[in-house]
């Protein structure tokens, strides 16, 4: 099954204080029982943080949180001793486990554009942990670059406690980037820029395609395009 969800079908959050966001799944004040999750992927938010604003300190537990910075500089602080600045091309991974308190803010005069994804973990009761990795993904061309994974076949990638992998993809017009998977897994593609043809279904900027029961996902550029590909099991084991 292949399902196209267009830009206009995303939920536009009503936020204040320099924050703008679209939610791909039920989150905060948006609730749709038919759009709660995608395998273990529970949250996928497309966020903009204005100058001198952000998300103040707040708690989380039992979640794997991935933050992908596309532009701007994000300041992270938490109660387990981490204080970092995450820049474009870097990926932040946080295991909230038994509980962590953190803030994500913009301390500059330039807007930040980031993506935040939350995964249900495959193990509960883990100690909180944190990692930032520079993958240089923004330099990709006609390829998929893994950003985080719980599949140990991939090396030099930030590890999450979920049998899932997040890729950043780039494809030029007329070229194709294939992705091989299994029918027991699911694939979500979110178009950041440009447009693509995914198994003969066209998706434009900010559209998403959700695929089930596929073994090969062909991603062809109908214009120069960048996108996020999320590969997940249909159900996360051991949760």
End-to-end CA distance of the chain: give it in Å, rounded: 25
22 is in an annotated binding site: no
In tens, the pLDDT along 80-125 reads 999 999 999 999 999 999 999 999 999 999 999 999 999 999 999 9
3-state secondary structure 200-223: CEEECCCCEEEEECCCEEEEEECC
At 132 the three-state DSSP class reads strand
60 appears as a binding residue in the annotation: yes
Angle at 35 between CA 233 and CA 61, to 5 degrees: 65
pLDDT over 80 (residue 153) = no
The whole-angstrom distance between residue 79's C-alpha and the CA centroid of its chain comes to: 24
Higher local confidence (pLDDT), 235 or 146: 146
What DSSP line would sit under 47-88, residue for residue? EEE-TT-EEEEEEE-S-EEEEEEEES-EEEEETTS-EEEE-T
Count of C-beta atoms within a 10 Å radius of residue 110? 11
List the CATH code of the domain at 2-233.
2.60.120.10
At 76, phi and psi to the nearest 5?
-110, 135
The half-sphere exposure of 106 on its side-chain side, counting CA atoms within 13 A, is: 21
Question: Helix, strand or coil for residue 169?
Answer: strand
| pLDDT tens-digit readout, 194-235 | 999 999 999 999 999 999 999 999 999 999 999 999 999 987
> What are the beta bridge partners of residue 218?
178
Render pLDDT for 39-93 as a digit per residue (tens, 0 to 9): 999 999 999 999 999 999 999 999 999 999 999 999 999 999 999 999 999 999 9
Q: How many helices (H) and strands (E) does the chain have?
A: 0, 22
Q: Is 102 annotated as contributing to ligand binding?
A: yes
Output b/e per residue, 143-165; b: 16+ Cβ within 10 A: ebbbbbbbeeeeeebbbbbbbbb
Domain boundaries, the chain: 2-233
Question: 111: annotated binding-site residue?
Answer: no
């Amino acid at each position: 099954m292949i399902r196209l969800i267009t830009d206009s079908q995303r939920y536009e959050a009503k936020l204040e204080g320099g924050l703008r966001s679209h939610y791909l799944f039920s989150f905060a004040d948006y609730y749709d029982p038919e759009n709660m999750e995608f395998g273990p992927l529970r949250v996928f938010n497309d966020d903009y943080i204005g100058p001198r604003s952000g998300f103040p300190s707040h708690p989380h537990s039992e979640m794997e949180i991935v933050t992908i910075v596309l532009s701007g500089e994000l300041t992270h602080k938490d109660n387990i001793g981490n204080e970092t600045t995450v820049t474009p091309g870097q990926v932040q991974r946080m295991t909230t486990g038994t509980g962590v308190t953190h803030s994500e803010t913009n301390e500059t005069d330039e807007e930040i554009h980031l993506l935040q994804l939350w995964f249900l973990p495959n193990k509960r009761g883990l100690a909180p942990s944190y990692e930032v990795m520079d993958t240089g993904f923004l330099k990709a061309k006609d390829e998929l670059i893994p950003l985080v994974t719980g599949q140990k076949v991939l090396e030099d990638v930030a590890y999450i406690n979920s049998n899932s992998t997040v890729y950043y993809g780039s494809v030029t017009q007329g070229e194709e980037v294939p992705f091989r998977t299994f029918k027991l897994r699911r694939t979500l593609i979110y178009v950041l820029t440009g447009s693509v043809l995914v198994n003969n279904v066209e998706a434009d900027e900010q559209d998403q395609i959700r695929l089930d029961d596929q073994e090969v996902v062909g991603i062809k550029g109908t214009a120069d395009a960048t996108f996020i590909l999320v590969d997940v099991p249909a159900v996360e084991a051991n949760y």
